Every structure is written in structure tokens, then in C-alpha cells.
Structure 1
């Protein structure tokens, strides 16, 4: 049974062979569209088949037919017809994990995500922060990501503990009312104190199947405001304020300007990255220097202001101190 299944009462259990399931909608699924609910409930079932059983009327809510746009109501009884799930072998168990908490109430949870940890499973990663937190916090009936961070990016990650909070936060994001700022160290010197970058970004997949983004005329509009925080020639510490939230936006903007992020393994200076990662080298760093350090928002339910800050990780602080010449040479 998947994580959502654990949080709701099933009125009919499944046998090894596919059988009809009757699932009562709890507060974690109230307000969700029926098609999205089914995609979560029927893990491994092709999306085309899910929509086929919807169109055919095999899926019923309170014994009545519905279409794919129906939004579930607390207490609805959903009839899910027999569907054969994928995954003949049981998946490897997800290890529970906790992360430094920056803010928590009944509606929101903000953590300080370390670099190297994916926010969710997929693309060759079997699990991420969201799956690990669900294991660590089984009492929460609802827990979803409000936004995402790249795997190698550290810093503030916001999650919703109620659907109302998730909907409210997504509305703030759509209206550009959430202030997200990152600290980033780049190769190259900046003369401008502040610079706005607006270029269209186009997503594509490489021959190896990896997701990438490039500047291209028919791409999506994107906007980042960069502010020079400290000149550390031949590097610069910047603050990046996101005005839009495109995939890999900060990374592609900086690479496009000819000032790639230190340690960026997708868009960076690969020769430099390799040199900086060697043991004993000074300055040295083995990760991408991109950190979500400040987040300002309005509470989606209580309508109060929230200001969050995550300090730079020790490895980033050490790199800056080495650039400033305040750390003794590392021994080989």
C-alpha cells in the first residue's frame, strides 16, 4: 500500500488478484481532482488506463458516475475497479529520516535540506526527502512538497501538512508573492552591484535521457535578479532572487552569462570543478555552491508574515574563508 493509502480507511481490502476497492476520502485528499487521486492510488498503472476507466464509468463516487474534473469531498466513497498494479517485487523500504526544522505549525513544515539529497523519488532515485519524512512522521495524514530544490542545492524546503496550506502556497507562487533568495558562488568577477536577467529557457532531454535546460527563443520566460554580495577574485558571491521558478533557472542564467556556479556538474566549468574537488587543494569544495538561504511568505491559513533563514552549510563557509585567506593551507 502506498503512503497515501496508509493515511485513509479502506472499506474493502485487496487480495493478491485485482479486486474492487472502496476508499473513503479523508482530509488529506479532500479537494483533489479524481484523476490525480487515482494516479496516486494506482501506482504503476499507465495513465492512459486510469483515464480509460474514468471515461468508461468504472470509477464511481458515492455510487455515481463522475468525470475527470470532479473534486473529492471529505467522506466521499470512491469505487476503484480491479486494476493490476505494476511492481511484482516489493520495493526497497524507504528509510525514515529527519532534517533540521526551521519552522513548523499545524499547516506548514520548513526544513534545511542538505546538498546531495533529492526532494522526491524518480529519475534513478528510489526515494527522497518527502518519502523519508512520511516514514518518519506517520501520524501526518497529509504531507506534500510546496516547491522543489535541485538535488545538489541545499537550504530551505517548504512542505504543506494540510491541503488548504498547499493550495494557498501554490497561489502565492503563481502570483509571485513568495520571496525566494539563494546564495551562490560563481567563477568570474561581477562589476554590477545588481543585475536583472530575463531570457527564455527551453527544457529538453539529452541522448542519455538526462533533463537539461538551455536559453532558446521559444522557451519559457524567466527572470532572476542577482546582487553582488562579495568580490573574491576570481570568484564572486551573489544573492539570487527568483522572480520566476523555471527548472535549473539560476544555474542556466549564470552559465549563460559566462559565470558558472562553482561545482555545478551540469552547466559548470568541469575542469575547475574537478580541480576544486581534489583532496587537500585550497580553495576546495566538493559540491555545487547554491544554497536557498532566505524565504519570505504569508501564512496561507493564518495570513501572518513568515521569514525563514538557513545559514550557509559548513563546506560553503569553509570555501569562502579559504578565498578570504583565513584558513591555513590544507595538508596533502
Structure 2
């Protein structure tokens, strides 16, 4: 009696195991001159965008990150030419956002600094529901630039002078100048109300808080951080006044909150402003906050030469002042 041969069943392509995803590999990254003097943790946070901070610090503490084959602490200062061992660090899957290249009016530029006149309504960087801002657009427009970093911040709805460092040494120099009080920064603000004093100092400590909807706000708080603004009357328009605001400290929303707390909210301010005054201006076609970073004086971060920069009022602000001046 013959025994039938058992034939080996062919495996179905649908049943074949899927190829394993390639695991992240160890990288060897050389430190360029633009990152000379930077802390190791800050270097990795920029290099490994999207990786949670806790993962990066854990890798440093565990010795998975090496500098020139040796262990290093998070605050270790890197030098140009250092070789960094970067271990596999998984980045959460995310759909990359398209960043259009953007150029902005240039007020000053050399090999260390770029100062632009930022329009109102444009965030300075991405985050908190904003896919991209000024700095991402500048990097897209200047792919050859090895280093572009914000030297300070402006609110999204504030226009005017914004400084970008083109070298790490310039960034550090700008920050040192700011800490030393070497800046003189003036804004122009139109406020609701008839301002009284020609010159007035407001020293009100400020603290940040978050609304139930998750919106960031600032308020006057005796337990907050010290904040000092000097206001100088430029012109009266009856129901409105044009002020010069000089920042002596740089707290979040400082000018806006100081003016609102004094009873003179900034025209068009949708966070701290007057709904009635904003509605009257909207009927005139003015639909932005009237706060403009007008002048900036500071020593050049590398040469020490004095810089005096100015951004004129945007046309929509000038137009509004002309209309308010008409009896």
C-alpha cells in the first residue's frame, strides 16, 4: 500500500512576518565652531528635537552619551572639534509641518547679528498651537546659515525690533549685555484713556498664571517677580494717549499688564484691553494691538561698538494716529 507523500504547504505572502523597523543607530557628531562653549545638555536638546528632556538627561547620567570617548556631565562645556557619541533616542512619530521660507525687513545685519522689523500677528517661534514662527521661517529662507537663534522675544501681536544671533558667541554676548543692564529698549504704545503724568515709573511685581482653558496670563502680584517700566507721554488724543515705554526689566507681558493695572490698557489688546475701546477702533478698521518695539540701543556683542536701532511705526498705526488727531 503506497503512502501519499506529504507536501510542504507554501506560505502565503500575507502570513510572512513584517520586516522589523530599523532601530535608531548610534551617531558620532562633531561639534562645529558655532556651538563652541555650549553646554552638553543644550547641544543635545537642539540636536535631538522631539526627544523628551528626561530621556536625554537619563542618557547623560547613564554614560550613554560620551564626549571624546569619555563620560561628561550635563553642564559640560563643549569645544569645537569635540566628538559626541549620541545613543539611540527614539523620537515620537510626528507629521512634519511645512515651513515656508520667510524674509522680513532688515534693520541691521552683519556676520554676527540680524535685526528685523517683525510684523504684528507673527509668532517669533513655533509651539503652543503654532506650527512655525519667525525663526523657523528665517532658517528655511537661509539654509546655508549654520546658526540662527532668537536673542530675545516679542509677543505675537507686538511689532518691531527683533534680534537674531548668527553666531553662538554673539548670542552669549547679547545675553550678558542684557544681564548687565546694557540695553535701552523703548516701545510705543497707544492706550485707552487720557494719561496724566508726563513721566511715570511703574514698579509692580508680576506673576504668570494659566486660565482654565490653558491660556497663559500675567497679573500684578506682591509675591511675583520685580518689574519696572518707565512711561513717557508722547501725545494726547482725548480718549487715547500715545506713550513711550522703556523696559527696565523684561518680564512676560510686562508693558501690557503694567498699563492695564494702571487703568490705561493698550489699544487693541485682546487679553488685557478694553472691549469698548477695542470695538471703537475696530470700527475704524484697526484690528491689532498698538504696541511697537521702536528703538533699541546696546553694545555690539562682539566688537563692543554702540548700536542704535530704530523701526518706524507700521503704516496702520501711523494712519490711526492721523485719524485720531483730526478734531
Partners of 1:137 and 1:170 lie apart in 2 by 23
Q: Does 1:131 align with 2:136?
A: yes
Partners of 2:274 and 2:34 lie apart in 1 by 44
Q: Which runs of 4+ in 1 moved over 2 A?
A: none
Q: CA-atom RMSD, angstroms?
A: 1.2
Gaps of 5+ in 1: 1-14, 327-332
From 254, 272, 281, the counterpart of 2:259: 254
* Count of residue correspondences: 307
Mapping of residues 1-332 of structure 1, within 5 Å = 16-86=22-92, 88-278=93-283, 281=284, 284-325=285-326
Partners of 2:34 and 2:276 lie apart in 1 by 48
Shift of 1:275: 3.4
Give the secondary-structure state (helix, strand or coil) at the position aligned to 1:64: coil
Larger Rg: 2
Shift of 1:36: 0.9
Partners of 2:272 and 2:125 lie apart in 1 by 22
Partners of 1:16 and 1:265 lie apart in 2 by 49
Give the alignment's TM-score, normalised by structure 1.
0.90
Gaps of 5+ in 2: 1-20
